[in-house]
Structure 1
Amino acid sequence: MEEQSSLTEMFNWRKNFGVNTVMKDFDFKELNEVQKYYPQGYHGIDKEGRPIYIERLGKLDFERLMQVTTLDRYVKYQVQDYEKTHRVRFPACSIVANRDVNRNLVILDVEGVRLKSFTRPVQNVLMQLRNINSDNYPETISQMLIINAGPGFKLLWSAIKCFLDPETESKIQVIGNKYQTKLLEMIHKSELPDFLGGSCNCKLEGGCLRSDKGPWKDISIA
């Protein structure tokens, strides 16, 4: 009964949010401006063929972010991107890998993040996105690497991880600024942005986190 109730809630949420048409109906025209104040995006695949999602949380400027978009539009954009991952990115990666690919590798760059970085508005938007993700897009992370974790973040992490279930915590590895070796164990240098120690810069696309580089952009696949 509990599982059926969860499915009903998910279907109701999708209907009320307009998820089934969000890919074609929603135009997030302010994306380039948003990227200036919260750099994030998909870029390449790891050695197991999984999409790589990179987020530079330490560069979040929430006040300026809210000057170029609204909270509702930003959340809708994130849902649109979740849908793209399930409908486009995972299927394309599955074709290339010749097996089912249904999880991401996540790199979270927290350079500069401190306890005071998490103001109440920032907490609210992150919690809203977390709830949407966990309730409607569960089990999509294979592993999360939190890099550039300084003393300030490590103090924050000690408090956060108490609220995580053991399975989720087991997927997360917190690393300091000596992360390049670990990343290159999992990702070919050509698939890794230069700001993370790779050789890619996606100069023609305006930078790696604006390129959405991956097999899902190959017309013959997607």
Structure 2
Amino acid sequence: MANPTQQDTLHKFRQQLFEDGILQDGDTIGTDDETLLRFLHARSFDIALSKKMFADCQHWRKTVQGVGIDRIYSQTDPFDYPERETVFKFWPMWFHKTDKQGRPINVQILGKMDLSKLYKVCTPKRHWETVLANAECLPREVLPAASRVAGRHIGTTLVIVDLKGFSLSQFWQAKSIARDSFQMSQDFYPETMGELVIINAPSSFTIIWNVIKPWLARDTAQKVSIYGKDYQKALLDLVDAESLPASLGGKCTCKDLGGCEFSGAGPWLDGRKGWGPRSKARLEEANSEVMLSGAAKL
């Protein structure tokens, strides 16, 4: 919650954004206080710097991939698109339930990353579009749903990155897209990562971290915790066992939804396209798909 001084800055910031035509009612970036405060926080409540950041973001939203983020999002449902199973198999990054603070959990299993296999089925351009759609669904659907269930504003995520089996060769293969992803998140979705927990960090992680750290804003780097194999207690301090995937030391398997990695389980699915976690009909459909294809295509 903003203090009185910050509230005054917020009022001036909003006024200038509208007066300068940078923000208009109905813009999908959001016109709410929480959205504007994220940009102010990212620039230490300097109105001029925050305004430039916001303007740059609006330009990106209108021009990214030559069509803009709204077009990409309308054409790529992050929870249901044709290449989703393949993308999640070789670029495993998915939302899964919420932590003890009510924050959405984003899981990234980098040891399974294989861009060469992914790009045999999905072009690099198409893959990047799915990354963009996944990023956009956070403020559009995931955070609002988490806020609704928590009964209070939830503005950040808990990110869990599992490096089990992750090699230096995989890192060098994905270095460019990883850097672009970090940059996009910081520039266009600022202050949405509440905490980053890295687990199963290999001995080579020092090399990887020395490359990654300069990509991160100072405040972001301070939100990172790094663990080796003894990470279970740390995760269970943050996430109830019933919400943590069994593969990470929890009890959740999302058995009726084709497994945690494909389920997209969380309050953001409630009422979405006619189904939610408690929709018996949709669960039966998911089970049928698992039997037919080995993975639910949700």
Using the size of structure 1 for normalisation, the TM-score is 0.91
Structure 1: how far apart are the matches of 2:217 and 2:203?
Answer: 23
Q: 1:36-60 CA deviation, whole Å, 9 max, x = no partner?
A: 2122200110001000000001111
Q: Residue 22 of structure 1 aligns with which residue? A: 72
2:197 to 145, 170, 191: 145
Structure 2 portions without partners, runs of 5+: 1-47, 277-298
Percent identity between matched residues is 35
Count of aligned pairs: 221
Structure 1: how far apart are the matches of 2:194 and 2:180?
Answer: 21
Q: Residue 226 of structure 2 aligns with which residue? A: 174
Task: Tell me whether 12-21 or 54-63 shows the greater mean CA deviation.
Answer: 12-21
Pick 1 or 2: higher relative contact order, CA cutoff 8 A, min separation 6: 1
Q: Residue 104 of structure 1 aligns with which residue? A: 157
Structure 2: how far apart are the matches of 1:154 and 1:128?
Answer: 21
Structure 1 portions without partners, runs of 5+: none
Letter in 2 for 1:126: A
SS at match of 2:242: helix
Distance 1:20 1:186, change over 3 A: same
Task: Tell me whether 54-63 or 153-162 shows the greater mean CA deviation.
Answer: 153-162
| Superposition deviation, residue 162 in structure 1 | 5.2
1:4 to 51, 60, 66: 51
Q: 1:55-106 CA deviation, whole Å, 9 max, x = no partner?
A: 0011111110111112221111111112211111111111111111010000
Using the size of structure 2 for normalisation, the TM-score is 0.69
Structure 1: how far apart are the matches of 2:239 and 2:94?
Answer: 16
Q: Residue 193 of structure 1 aligns with which residue? A: 245
Q: Residue 291 of structure 2 aligns with which residue? A: none
Consecutive aligned runs of 4 or more in structure 1 exceeding 6 Å deviation: none
SS at match of 1:108: strand
SS at match of 2:89: helix
Q: 1:83-132 CA deviation, whole Å, 9 max, x = no partner?
A: 2111111111111111110100000001122333222x521111222222
Structure 2: how far apart are the matches of 1:160 and 1:171?
Answer: 14
Q: Is the 8 A contact 1:41 1:53 kept in 2?
A: yes
Indicate whether 1:130 and 2:171 are aligned: no
Structure 2: how far apart are the matches of 1:20 and 1:141?
Answer: 22
Q: Residue 41 of structure 2 aligns with which residue? A: none
Query: What value does the CA root-mean-square deviation take over the aligned residues?
Result: 2.0
Q: Residue 40 of structure 1 aligns with which residue? A: 93
Structure 2: how far apart are the matches of 1:107 and 1:89?
Answer: 16
Question: Which runs of structure 2 are paired with 1:69-88 in the superposition (5 Å)?
Answer: 69-88=122-141
Q: Is the 8 A contact 1:93 1:215 kept in 2?
A: yes
Letter in 1 for 2:248: L
